[in-house]
């Protein structure tokens, strides 16, 4: 999924017309005025760039129709955009997932982990905000970074996030080998291991990992 940065959205949502700048009237207007690819346009729609002009589902529907009717940056000569049908309202889960995946925040301050909190509690995962300063713990978070540097002697380092809190997960070579497929596909991890807090730096040396499947926004990064 393409990621729409706020700076990109700002530049795209205002088009230059001679010496003056004219605001965009919606998806169709932008598509007809700029040579913009479908992935970027859909990312802008999911990120809410057109929220003041039209609903996100309507915008996505129009994008799908436009790319099959005309090339970008051209006013249509013969074809009219089909009328948008009645579409289901965007759910909170969908909006949080799109917002977090594309711009890293949302207007309600809801984190993707909050959407599956009950499932994580059932799996025995303590929210990061309630973790002790040390000891053996089980917690969970969205995977936001993965690293396995060649100089680390087989160790891997993941960063998981639960709301405003993050911690580093240290994965031994043996655990990496036994859980390789889980770690490659992981978007939300339940981690058990020894926790150590030093100031703002939290580290957990993992001894058990569980990949939580679900519709949760993540960056989808790969690791070697």
Q: At what angle do helices 56-69 and 38-46 cross, to 10 degrees?
A: 170
Low-confidence ranges of the chain (pLDDT < 70): 1-22, 75-83, 90-109, 213-224
pLDDT digits 0-9 by tens, 94-108: 666 666 666 565 665
Res 37: pLDDT: 86
Distances (CA, A) of 3 to 42, 46, 61, 222: 10, 10, 19, 16
- Burial of residue 49, with CB atoms counted within 10 A of its CB: 0-12 exposed, 13-18 middle, 19 or more buried: buried
Res 80: pLDDT: 56
Is residue 214 left, alpha or beta, with left meaning phi > 0 and alpha meaning psi from -120 to 50?
A: left
Res 92: pLDDT: 66
Quote the mean pLDDT of the chain: 77
State both tokens at 14.
């205002």
Res 16: pLDDT: 46
Res 157: pLDDT: 95
HSE-CB at 100 with a 13 A cutoff on CA atoms is 27
Walk me through the domains of the chain, giving residue ranges and CATH numbers: 6-103 (no CATH), 112-212 (2.40.50.140)
Res 178: pLDDT: 92
Whole-angstrom distance, CA of residue 67 vs CA of residue 27: 11
Whose CA is closest to 62, among 106, 94, 16, 25?
Answer: 25
């Amino acid at each position: 999924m393409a990621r729409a940065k706020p700076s990109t959205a700002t530049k795209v949502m205002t088009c230059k017309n001679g010496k003056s700048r004219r605001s965009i009237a919606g998806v169709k207007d932008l598509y007809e005025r700029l040579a913009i690819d479908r992935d970027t346009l859909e990312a802008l729609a999911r990120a809410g760039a057109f929220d003041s002009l039209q609903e996100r589902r309507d915008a996505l529907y129009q994008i799908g129709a436009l790319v099959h009717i005309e090339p970008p940056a051209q006013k249509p000569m013969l074809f009219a955009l089909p009328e948008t049908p009645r579409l289901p309202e965007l759910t909170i889960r969908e909006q949080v997932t799109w917002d977090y995946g594309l711009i890293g925040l949302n207007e309600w301050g809801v984190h993707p982990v909050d959407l599956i909190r009950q499932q994580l509690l059932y799996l025995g995962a303590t929210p990061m905000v309630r973790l002790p300063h040390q000891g053996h713990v089980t917690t969970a978070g969205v995977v936001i970074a993965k690293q396995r540097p060649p100089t680390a002697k087989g160790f891997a380092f993941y960063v998981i996030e639960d709301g405003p809190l993050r911690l580093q997960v240290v994965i031994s070579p043996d655990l990496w080998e036994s859980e390789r497929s889980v770690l490659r596909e992981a978007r939300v991890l339940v981690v058990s291991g020894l926790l150590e807090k030093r100031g703002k730096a939290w580290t957990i040396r993992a001894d058990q990992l569980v990949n939580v499947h679900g519709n949760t926004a993540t960056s989808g990064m790969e690791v070697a």
